[in-house]
């Protein structure tokens, strides 16, 4: 039975499947769903037109239906804008000729008030490259089915797995490498779950809905993928709670005090949650890693592999997939940075520093994973029964 496969403690973590499901459903999911709609968390800064460093023919959106609708000028928080003067209309580029899809390439240093620009050794993104960056309203661009299939998509996943985190023969790999593999596999499972939960069922009538067969074929049929999804969720949750003090004191101002207070209060509910602390105090114990003699070199190697994965996101040939790919890989890179580069044994004096975009990515990633867990938990048992009876 479905539930027999997911009992006990999530591998390498210290919380059980049932605890994750109930905490997520009752506590975390409702907070996260509200948090990602706040102005601070819904605008993500991204460089969407990028050169793919690996295959020169990829990296541009060729599929019309998957282009991202970027922020129209009027809905963008005032504080993030430069004065309009001096801006030529050439700077506002329309996608597909739709006025509502105007690209806002205007950035303001005030938006980064209180936020430092630092280099995260785990990721490949350069946030200082403002000319190339644009803001995207994530609420208008949900992660879902886009029709991005075929050799381009396959090539990316293949490169991610074979070049950077080879599938491991069980037991033969050090736990640090296993963590990287599981994080990528968990993220991949989550992307597949979102495709299955919001699928274009009928193109002619533009009918969207759930595709349970796809959920089964890509995720449920492989219990490891479900387990990796839970692992990734707990890993990111651990990063968020470890960074609690930093996140609680961070600057969330977007120009509207009411919104900003709400954001701050939701962040506090997320990071200092007594129920969470009681039920799952340390979702993942990072202190167990990097202990061996080769710890430092191993960390550098894995950092390099993860940076390669981050760079591969520039080769995703569908713009919306690239947006969410970049966001979620940045979120994972931020979690890795929090857990492995700061306040560890060898970096006792290094204070935690995060960029604004990294905080946005981290929280939106946790929300996506939380949504995937809800969907798998809700639909998993019945989907398996349906598939068995066919």
Distance CA(358)–CA(326), nearest Å, equals 11
Interaction of residue 192 with ligand FAD, rule CB under 6 A: yes
Number of residues that bind ligand FAD (CB under 6 A): 23
Interaction of residue 316 with ligand FAD, rule CB under 6 A: yes
- Residue from 42, 225, 238, 299 binding ligand FAD (CB under 6 A): 225
Query: Which stretch of DSSP H or E encloses residue 238?
Result: helix 223-242
- Residue from 195, 220, 359, 365 binding ligand FAD (CB under 6 A): 195
CB of 38 to ligand FAD, least distance (A): 23
- Residue from 104, 143, 319, 371 binding ligand FAD (CB under 6 A): 143
Alpha carbon distances (Å) from 57 to 95, 276, 316, 320, 322: 21, 47, 11, 18, 15
Residue 49 annotated as part of some ligand binding site: no
- Residue from 62, 110, 113, 154 binding ligand FAD (CB under 6 A): 154
Q: How wide is the angle at C-alpha 264 spanned by C-alphas 262 and 270, nearest 5°?
A: 105
Q: What does the block give as tokens for 212?
A: 């349970």
Residue 188 annotated as part of some ligand binding site: yes
- Do residues 201 and 209 lie in contact, with contact meaning Cβ atoms separated by under 8 Å? yes
Distance CA(25)–CA(17), nearest Å, equals 12
- Residue from 43, 115, 145, 340 binding ligand FAD (CB under 6 A): 145
| Closest listed residue to residue 12, CA positions, set 140, 153, 159, 185 | 185
Interaction of residue 311 with ligand FAD, rule CB under 6 A: no
Of 15, 50, 52, 318, catalytic: 318
To the nearest 10°, the Cα dihedral for 210, 200, 360, 330? 100
- Residue from 27, 92, 140, 153 binding ligand FAD (CB under 6 A): 153
Is 174 in the active site?
A: no
Is 321 in the active site?
A: yes
Residue 202 phi, psi dihedral angles, 5° rounding: -140, 110
- Using the rule CB under 6 A, give the single segment among 2-10, 181-189, 247-255, 363-371 that binds ligand FAD: 181-189
- Residue from 321, 330, 332, 336 binding ligand FAD (CB under 6 A): 321
CB of 339 to ligand FAD, least distance (A): 21
Number of helices and strands (H, E) in the chain? Answer: 14, 4
CB of 390 to ligand FAD, least distance (A): 19
Question: Please, what sign has the CA dihedral across residues 51, 126, 124, 32?
Answer: negative
String of b and e for 44-63 (b: at least 16 CB within 10 Å)?
Answer: bbbbbebebebeeebbebee
- Mapped onto helix, strand or coil, the DSSP state of residue 202 is strand
- Using the rule CB under 6 A, give the single segment among 152-160, 263-271, 282-290, 340-348 that binds ligand FAD: 152-160
Per the annotation, binding residues for FAD are: 144, 146, 157, 185, 188, 218
Please report, as ranges, the residues that interact with ligand FAD according to CB under 6 A: 143, 145-146, 148-149, 153-154, 156-157, 185, 188-189, 191-192, 195, 218, 225, 313, 316, 320-321, 324-325
The residues annotated as belonging to the active site are: 318, 321
């Amino acid at each position: 039975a479905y539930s027999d496969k997911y009992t006990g403690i999530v591998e390498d973590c210290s919380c059980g499947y049932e605890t994750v499901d109930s905490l997520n459903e009752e506590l975390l999911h409702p907070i996260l769903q509200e948090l990602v709609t706040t102005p601070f968390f819904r605008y993500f800064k991204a460089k969407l037109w990028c050169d793919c460093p690996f295959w020169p023919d990829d990296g541009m959106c060729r599929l019309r239906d998957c282009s991202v609708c970027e922020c129209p000028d009027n809905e963008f928080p005032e504080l993030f804008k430069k004065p309009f003067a001096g801006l030529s209309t050439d700077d506002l580029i329309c996608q597909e000729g739709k006025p509502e899809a105007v690209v806002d390439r205007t950035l303001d240093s005030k938006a980064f008030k209180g936020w430092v620009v630092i280099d995260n050794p785990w990721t490949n993104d350069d946030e200082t490259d403002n000319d190339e960056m644009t803001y995207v309203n994530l609420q208008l661009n949900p992660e879902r089915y886009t029709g991005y299939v075929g050799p381009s998509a396959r090539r990316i996943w293949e490169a991610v797995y074979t070049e950077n985190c080879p599938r491991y023969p069980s037991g033969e790999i050090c736990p640090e490498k296993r963590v990287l593999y599981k994080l990528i596999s968990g993220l991949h499972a989550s992307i597949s779950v979102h495709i299955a939960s919001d699928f274009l069922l009928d193109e002619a009538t533009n009918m969207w809905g759930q595709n349970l067969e796809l959920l089964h074929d890509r995720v449920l049929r492989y219990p490891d993928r479900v387990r990796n999804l839970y692992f990734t969720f707990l890993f990111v949750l651990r990063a968020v709670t470890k960074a609690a003090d930093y996140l609680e004191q961070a600057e969330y101002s977007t120009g509207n005090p009411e919104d900003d207070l709400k954001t701050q209060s939701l962040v506090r509910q997320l990071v200092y949650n007594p129920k969470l602390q009681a039920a799952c105090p340390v979702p993942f114990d990072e202190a167990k890693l990097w202990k061996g003699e080769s710890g430092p070199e191993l960390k550098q190697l894995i950092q390099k592999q993860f940076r390669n994965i981050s760079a591969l996101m520039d080769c995703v040939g569908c713009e919306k997939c690239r947006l969410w790919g970049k966001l979620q890989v940045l979120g994972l890179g931020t979690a890795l940075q929090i857990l492995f580069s700061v306040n560890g044994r060898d970096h006792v004096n290094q204070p935690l520093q995060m960029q604004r975009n990294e905080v946005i990515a981290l929280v939106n990633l946790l929300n996506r994973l939380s949504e995937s867990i809800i969907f798998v938990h809700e639909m998993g048992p019945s989907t398996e029964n349906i598939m068995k009876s066919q």
